[in-house]
Structure 1
Amino acid sequence: MIEIQLNGQIHKLETSLSIEQLLNKLLIDKKKVAVELNKSVVPKQKYSSIKITNEDVVEIVTFIGGG
């Protein structure tokens, strides 16, 4: 089991996941968010290849349109 910080809250995961797997697990559309891993923005094309590991800090930001 691994422990991560997700949007300021501690979450426990059974195993290490890719960013894409985490977004799928959370039912989040990857097209509508930006992800920061340990204070670095992750390009969308790397979501499937970058693994989240123990004690990582993940921030998921949703885009909101406005006028």
Structure 2
Amino acid sequence: MTERITDSVFVEWFTGIYSKKWDAVLLSGGGNDMIDAALSPPTSDLSLRLLRRPDEWLATSGTAR
């Protein structure tokens, strides 16, 4: 957790002269359960994983997929 107003290092990551273009930023309020889900193998039950396998994708397009 960080206090974005007073944590100068955190602010520098995004706005400083050495800041980089980020592809993504993961903000998690879930904590360890998010980490556990990300580390679950693709053979785990879907309820324990963060992502679906391609064979489990929904038959739609866009974010619903």
Q: Comparing both structures, which one devotes a greater share of its residues to strand?
A: 1
Same fold, judged at TM 0.5 (above) = no
What TM-score do the two structures reach when normalised by structure 2? 0.22
Q: Comparing both structures, which one devotes a greater share of its residues to helix?
A: 2
Higher relative contact order (CA 8 A, sep 6+): 1
What TM-score do the two structures reach when normalised by structure 1? 0.21
